[in-house]
Amino acid sequence: MSIIKRPVITEKLSRLQEAGKYTFEVATNATKPEIKQAVEATYPGVKVAKVNTAIMPSKPKGRYTRSGYQGGRTKVWKKAIVTVKEGEIDFFAEI
């Protein structure tokens, strides 16, 4: 099982990147020390100063189709905001 699932890239989080904070979707059972080790192993030359985590709740989602309203919910996921001491992470160089 991988600890880091994917980077989260939004407008708000792009502004945080200028301050050296990067956001990742991580496994829901991952701990802060595990997240720190995974980021430093995945991105060489990066030293992590701090890790903040939050569990994002499920939200109701729905859409109208020919057969009527189809309701559902989004999944529960955990995000980690990683503050970097030194180094920089470039998400778009990996693509």
Per-residue tokens: 58: 């499920």
Per-residue tokens: 62: 């729905």
Average pLDDT of every residue of the chain: 90
pLDDT value, residue 23: 94
Q: Where are the domains of the chain?
A: 4-88
pLDDT tens profile 4-46: 999 999 999 888 888 889 999 999 999 999 999 999 999 888 8
> Does the predicted TM-score (pTM) go above 0.85?
no
pLDDT exceeds 60 at position 95: no
> The domain 4-88 is classified under which CATH number: 1.10.10.10, 2.60.40.10, 3.40.50.150, 3.30.70.330?
3.30.70.330
- Least trusted range by pLDDT, from 36-45, 47-56, 66-75: 36-45
**Higher per-residue confidence, 87 vs 11:** 11
Contact by Cβ (8 Å): 15, 22: no
Helix H, strand E, coil C: the string for the chain is CCCEEEECCCHHHHHHHCCCEEEEEECCCCCHHHHHHHHHHHCCCCEEEEEEEEEECCCEEEEEECCEEEEEECCCEEEEEEEEEECCCCHHHCC
CA distances from residue 11 to 6, 19, 77 in whole angstroms, order as listed: 16, 14, 19
